[in-house]
Amino acid sequence: MGDDGPVSAEDLENYETDMELALYREYRDVVGLFAYVVETERRFYLANQVDLQVRSAAGEVYFELSLADAWVWDVYRSARFVKTVRVVTFKDVNVEELAKPELDLPDGGAFRR
């Protein structure tokens, strides 16, 4: 970007839309590499290992979440693949195991001898 004056609201909106589309495309490309989808109040993750613990302190219930081999849905992160993630939240956490596609067999599934 050059020094062409102020950025318009439309330019900024187009940039954000392009970033979100690129993030979606990356998600689509990597989702098959992961076993779990994890949704917290602030982030969306893909991960291969998930440990969710329900804790309480001073009468408050909270969740401690540890992820390994993860991908973070965050348009502003330059490195979305992370080795480990630890999240503490007072809101609900949703963890879903991803369905693995069936093995594709050639020729309509027939084995040749």
pLDDT of the chain, 113 residues: tens digit per residue: 555 678 888 888 888 898 999 999 999 999 999 999 999 999 999 999 999 999 999 999 999 999 999 999 998 888 899 999 999 999 989 999 998 765 555 555 554 44
Supply the pLDDT for residue 21.
93
Q: Is residue 88 part of a domain?
A: yes
CB 72 within 8 A of CB 65: no
Q: Is residue 4 part of a domain?
A: no
3-class DSSP assignment, residue 72: strand
Q: Is residue 111 part of a domain?
A: no
Q: Is residue 87 part of a domain?
A: yes
Supply the pLDDT for residue 4.
66
Q: Is residue 36 part of a domain?
A: yes
Neighbouring CB atoms inside 10 A of 100's CB total 8
Under DSSP, the state recorded for 30 is: H
Report how far apart, in Å, the C-alpha atoms of 110 and of each of 14, 80, 100, 102, 104 are. Answer: 49, 40, 21, 14, 11
Our count of domains for the chain comes to 1
| Residue range(s) defining the domain that contains residue 82 | 9-100
Residues forming a β-bridge with 93: none
Supply the pLDDT for residue 113.
47
